Every structure is written in structure tokens, then in C-alpha cells.
Structure 1
Amino acid sequence: MNYHAKGIGEFLGEMAERCFKPHHAFTAGEVFYVNDEDLPEFIGDNGYFSSMFDFNETVCNASDKGWYDQKPITPEQYKACCFESQKKVASFGGFLSNIIENHDEPRGVSRYIPKGECTLRGKKMLGGLNFLLRGLPFIYQGQELGMENLAVNSIDEVDDISARDEYQVALDAGLTEQQALDAVNMFSRDNARTPYQWDGTATPALPPASPGCM
């Protein structure tokens, strides 16, 4: 098994036996980079978890150089990521927890819908696709409204420490301040941490998301 921490399989197995199973608990694991042959150990009939989140789309086109070098995911790539994950777990009957975004990701409608096509129809299409996948759909706050990415005009407006780091990485690579900020605007975790748009009466910790897609 190719785990990042030695002995993690034994630890997760003991946790499942002693904590989850006695209470018939449903669990969803936040797990990355599991080898195909190891998947049944995580979410099979006797897996460590009942299900696990599918991050296949979120890591697509990731670059070791940084956010500034990450290419937009195309519709065909998004489809291929979904189908790849589905095929892997279908072989042994596992169920994935399907997500479009979470608290550590930019807004899915801004990330996965092609630029210029982020319309109400496009948002409904992305949400409908997620619900049609085999597995368990998870909705993150704001998705039901189709909330979009937050646009900031300065790095001083950014709370996310990883976004601040990536901004500096882009500058060190020779990008302009605006180009570095463009990468932050696309991938910052602040995008998914803006306040839920109940109304405009409160003063939020972060500014509200922009009305248009990035």
C-alpha cells in the first residue's frame, strides 16, 4: 500500500472497528492519492470508511510550479475525471461522496464552467451532473445559490494563508502583481469562505462574492 504515513492502514482499521462500527456510524473519508488496488480497503464492504470524497476533478491540471501555472479544466477533462472515478469504485461496489467544491476549493461554477458561459443554465447543468453521478451528493453552502468566486483588488484583502504564499510564488516566478493576483482570484480558498448570501444587512468578515464569474 502506498500511504503517506507509515502504519496509517492499521490506525484507520482500528478506528473503524472501535469507533465507527459499534455505533453503525456513516463516515466519509477525506483521502487523496489512493492507489486503485487499495480503494476497497478504504470504502469496500469492510473498508475504513463508508464512503470517501472524490477529489479527482479538484486536482486535475494541478502544477508543481504553483497556482499561476495551473490550466483551466475543460468540460471534456471534467467528464473524464468523473467517469474515471466512477469506473474505479464500480468494480467493487463502492460509493463515492461526490462534490463540486468544499471549504478549501474555489467555487465550482467559476472553476469548471468555461469563461463566458457561467450562466444560470450553466450552473444548473453542473449541479444536475453532480446529482446524476452514482454515489452520494454533498452540497457545500452557497452551491444552492450558484455562488461564484470572490474578486479581490489587492493581496491585502486576502485572508487565506495558502493564497498569500501562492501570490509570492507567482511573483518569484517573474509574474506581474496583477498576474499573481489573477491566480489568487481563481484558486484562493477565500472564494468558498465568503458569507452565505442571505441578504445585505450584515457586515461580514469577508466581502461578498462578486456577481460575475471569474
Structure 2
Amino acid sequence: MYQIYPRSFQDSNGDGIGDLPGIISRLDYLKQLGVGALWLSPVYQSPNADNGYDISDYQAINPEYGTMADMERLIQEARQRDIRIVMDLVVNHTSDEHAWFVNARTGMDSSTRDYYVWSDPVDGHEPNDLTSGFIGGSAWEHDSTSDQYFLHLFSAKQVDLNWQSPKLRQAIYDMMNFWIAKGIGGFRMDVIDMIGKEPFEKQLVNGPHLHDYLHEMNRATWADRDFLTVGEAWSAGPKEALQYSCPARQELSMIFQFGHLWADRKVGGEKWETHPISVPQLKAALYACQRELATDGWNSLFWNNHDLPRAVSRFGTPTGPNRELSAKMLAITLHGLKGTPYIYQGEEMGMTDCPVTMIEQVDDVEARTIYRQLRVQGDSATTAMEKVNRFSRDNARTPMQWDASLNAGFSTGQPWLAVNPNYQTINVQATLTEPDSVFETYQQLIQLRKTQPVLQTGAFQALAVPDDVIAYTRTLGEVTWLVCSNFGAEPVDVTLPQRVAKRLVGNYDDYPDQLGDVQLRPYEAFMVALQ
């Protein structure tokens, strides 16, 4: 799976915003990489309060991105290249400009009133103290027409849907079937663990009917089709992932779980509270997923997405010769695991974070809120910006770097978000002409995953190695492959099985053909077949 953030991928008309024709123009590149599906962040009609995750019409394309005819052509052109299109589905909330909500606000007897969560005032105030995740303050907004409050757990322009309404659920399933009929290959489901919320009980995730709703959705839409579904579930661990993805339950194909991404963050803390990466914590989380879903359910494998910092900046080294070494190391580590790998646009050439110096340069609504909160708490502007830069979603959203020309070949106009200044050296054109590139490593790994059953279904076994090393085997029948990765910038000694090894992929030119006691170089990683 390859994730595209359409706004930043390729602009075809010079308005500075990526679009569907731009994606179509790059399909041959994606075919060359070898991916089998493209997950598109939302391209629906939206006022863009949260860059498309506030949908005002599920069955219309935002004119910034093109037309429905462009969307249909993308589905068709991709399919001709053996690539399926996976749509981002946001059904926890809609825009306040969606016709459902506009109608709901006309009166308490409107036909879509119960599509949303409403409450009478309690002692003249909000029903409880739930807060908004994006803008701070109360998650309840007063509606003067009815003197009731409506719920928005994100921004006030993202109004929470009431999944307890059978009419609402059927309307959503009808909309999903509209897209399925157009030939898409799947849905990625935004904050899907929140649709069963019980806000008056302050239970925002994993509500009592969450899995009932997902089973009902399955049976009403993609049941018995060749169709992929992946849910975003920040609250889920490995055991919950099994609930979502166990085929017998007829819910989802898999979910994104985020346990491994706490390896550089304070558990229970805020986004900006970070510490140096703990590789033992990282591999413990990855291994737990491999073990819990060893025989049932399915894993999603990823380092980053449109909401997260760039992988090489977070887990590797973003500058110097170690950038490519660590980018390849991360690719090899991930693609050896059992599950479906996800590549975020630019990851295949080692694109990096893009720190900025002033809050005025930041587009991300969440990052701007965090900055204001930090300043109120007493941080200087410089300190607050340092913290915001660590986890600003803009890091992943800077335009795709295609070549060294103006605006990195993304647009002939002024890009909606500034291009990372390192585009003149880190770009697709450069990586395609470079021998033994990061791109080539991804290409090799994708081909192995497509053709080698041991990577698809082989059993996982962790190996005992030093803290900064991840090492494991995958075994299917008589075939055993070994993956070993040094997550540090210093050499480290490891003891591996005493076996002859045939190199499959690695990030150094030479490699040990006889395992045993081995010294791994900085960020060294390899995948070998044991003989």
C-alpha cells in the first residue's frame, strides 16, 4: 500500500495544490515502484478546515482536486496497472457544512436531526467537560436555534455523527456502496474506534456497540468482495487488533495500531513530550503484534503517514550519509514482518521532516493550537517552535520532491505549503539515477513480498540480540529467512545463528555470508536466506 496525500503529491494545473490528474500522471512511477494499492487521503468536497478530513459531500470531489470524471479515470487507469484505489473514509464526523448538518440545524424535528449528537444544557451549561482535540476548549457547541449543544471532538467544523441512529448508519452504507460500485478496492477508516462513543458516559473509544457497527457495515457493503479495509485505531493494542481483523468476526481486514510509535514519547503525555528512541520499547511493541496475530487476524506495518513525522527523521538520521543507510534499514526492518506494509509518499526516497522557525509558516491546525497552549504555559517562542517541529503534521505534508527544478517539480505555481529546502538533492529524479538507492531497496523488498510465500505467511521468531538491534526470522516449511537491523549510529556486536547466509537485500555493499558472531556497522540492515 502506498499512501498519497493528494494536496501535496502532484499539481497538474499550476494552482499550487496537488490534484487527481497529477496523480494519474505519476501512475507509471508507482507501477515502477511496484505497489499494489494507493490509499488517497480525502478528496471529497470539503471546506478544508482540516485539509479534507471535514467532509461536506461524500459523493462529490473537491474542485481543487478535479472532477468525478477525473476520479473515475484514476480508478480505471490505476486498475490497468494492477493498482487498486483505497479511499479515505471519515465517518466519525462530517463538516458543519454537510447537508445533513445544515438540515439538522433547522429544527429539532428535522429529518437528519438524530444523525448528530445533541444535548440540552445542564444547569445552563455544556452537558459535561469533554474537550476538543484540535482547538482546545469545550467539545460542545451551542446552537442558538434550538438552545441545544452539539458535539465536536475535533474542531467545531467537524461535527460528530450519532452512530446510534439506524437512519444515519444506513445513509453511510449507501454512500459506501456508491464508491464500491465505482470500482474502488478498499477503504481506510479514520478514527474508526470512535464511532461507538458514549459521550455522556465520557467513553470516546471502544464503545459497547463499536464491533456491532463494524460487523453490520461489513455485511451491508463489502461482504464477500475482494476488498481491503483498514481502520485507524489509536486506542487499540494487539489484542484489540485481533478483534477487528479476525475473519470469523466479519469486521475489517486490519487496523493501524500505534504502540510502536510511543518508543520516543512519554506514555500518557502530550505529543511534544519526547525522549530519545527506546529500541527495546519499539521492538517489544512490534513483536507483540507479530505474536498476537500470528495465526489469525492481520497486521498493518508502517512507520509514518500524513499525521506523523517522517520516519527517517524520527527513527534514523535525516542528514549526511547515514540518511540513506537508516532509510534503507527502516525499509528492510518493516518489510520482513508479517502483515501489509504501508509506504507514505516520499518515504521510498528518504524524504525528511521540514522544521520551520515561525508559527506563521505552519498550516497544521493542531500544531497551531499546541503552539498557543505552550506559549500560555510559559514557553518562549523558540522553545514552543522546537516542540511543535517535532510532531507538526506539516512535516509529512510538504510537497512531493520530484526533481531539482523550481518547487521540486510539484507545481509551476506557488505551492500551498513550502517545499522542503533539501529538494535539490533529495528527489525522485536523483534517486532513480542513483545506483543502490533507497528507491531500489523498496523496489526489491516489494518484489520479494509479492513473490516469496515465506514473507507472506511465514512464522515469526524474535532473536536474542543487543538492545539497539532488531533481529528475527520468518520460517515457512524448510525455508527460513533472517532480518537483522542496527538502529544505532555506532557499531554493535551480535551473535546470530551459525548458518550460511544468502543475501537478499542489504544496505552495505558487502555482507557476511557466514553468520555467527557479527559486527553490525552503523544502521546496517540485511535480509538473508539461511542455507
Show the counterpart of 1:30: 232
Give 1 or 2: higher strand fraction: 2
1:40 alignment counterpart: 242
* Structure 2: unaligned runs, 5 residues or longer: 1-202, 424-531
Three-state SS of the structure 1 residue aligned to 2:233 is coil
* Separation in structure 2 between the aligned mates of residue 63 and residue 37 of structure 1, nearest angstrom: 19
- Structure 1 residues 106, 123: CA separation in 2 closer, same or farther (over 3 Å shift)? same
- With normalisation by structure 2, the TM-score equals 0.37
Per-residue CA distance 1:72-116 (angstroms, 9 max, x = gap): 4233332222112222222x4222111110111111111112687
Please give the alpha-carbon distance, in whole angstroms, between the structure 2 residues aligned to 1:65 and 1:77. Answer: 16
Q: 1:84 to 1:169 in 2, by over 3 A?
A: farther
Q: Structure 1 residues 20 and 159, CA, compared in 2 at 3 Å: closer, same or farther?
A: same
Q: Does 1:125 align with 2:329?
A: yes
Kindly indicate whether the alpha-carbon contact (under 8 Å) linking 1:63 and 1:69 is maintained by their aligned counterparts in 2.
no
User: CA shift at 1:145, angstroms?
Assistant: 1.2
Matched with 2:343 is 139
Larger Rg: 2
Q: Using structure 1 for the length normalisation, give the TM-score.
A: 0.87
Does the CA contact (< 8 Å) of 2:237 and 2:259 recur in 1? no
Change (3 A) 1:10 1:39: same
Supply the distance in 2 between the matched residues of 1:210 and 1:84 (Cα, whole angstroms).
38
Q: Which residue does 1:55 correspond to in 2? A: 258
User: Which amino acid is 1:14 matched to?
Assistant: E
Label 1:45 to 1:63 Cα distance change in 2 as closer, same or farther (>3 A): closer
The answer for the alignment partner of 2:312 in structure 1 is 109
Cα deviation, 1:136-179, whole Å, max 9, x if unaligned, reads 10111010111100111100000001101111222233222111
Report the more deviating stretch, 40-49 or 185-194: 40-49
Aligned sequence identity (%): 31
RMSD over aligned Cα atoms: 2.5
Residue 183 of structure 1 corresponds to 387
Contact kept, 8 Å, 2:238 with 2:288, in 1: the verdict is no
Pair 1:7-2:209 in alignment? yes
CA distance in 2, matches of 1:65, 1:169: 14
Runs of 5+ in structure 1 lacking a partner? none
Residue 300 of structure 2: which of 97, 103, 107 is its match? 97
Partner residue of 2:357? Answer: 153
Q: Given the alignment of the two structures, is residue 209 of structure 1 paired with residue 411 of structure 2, yes or no?
A: no
Contact kept in structure 1, 2:399 and 2:419, CA below 8 Å: yes
* 1:195–1:206 Cα contact (<8 Å) kept: yes
Q: Which has the higher helix share?
A: 1
Residues paired across the two proteins, number = 211
8 Å Cα contact 2:239-2:292 kept in structure 1: no
The amino acid of 1:101's aligned partner reads N
Distance 1:75 1:194, change over 3 A: same
Distance in 2, Cα, partners of 1:171 & 1:72: 24
Contact 1:167 1:184 in 2 (8 A): yes
User: Per the alignment, do residues 27 and 88 of structure 1 end up closer, same or farther by CA in structure 2, a change over 3 Å counting?
Assistant: same
Aligned residue for 1:78?
282
Q: 2:300 is paired with a residue of what secondary structure?
A: strand
Residues 141, 196 of structure 1: 8 Å contact kept: yes
Task: Answer with 108-117 or 118-127: which moved more.
Answer: 108-117
Kept after mapping to 2: 8 A contact 1:194/1:208? yes
- Specify whether residues 100 and 37 from structure 1 end up closer, same or farther in structure 2 by C-alpha distance, changes over 3 A only: closer
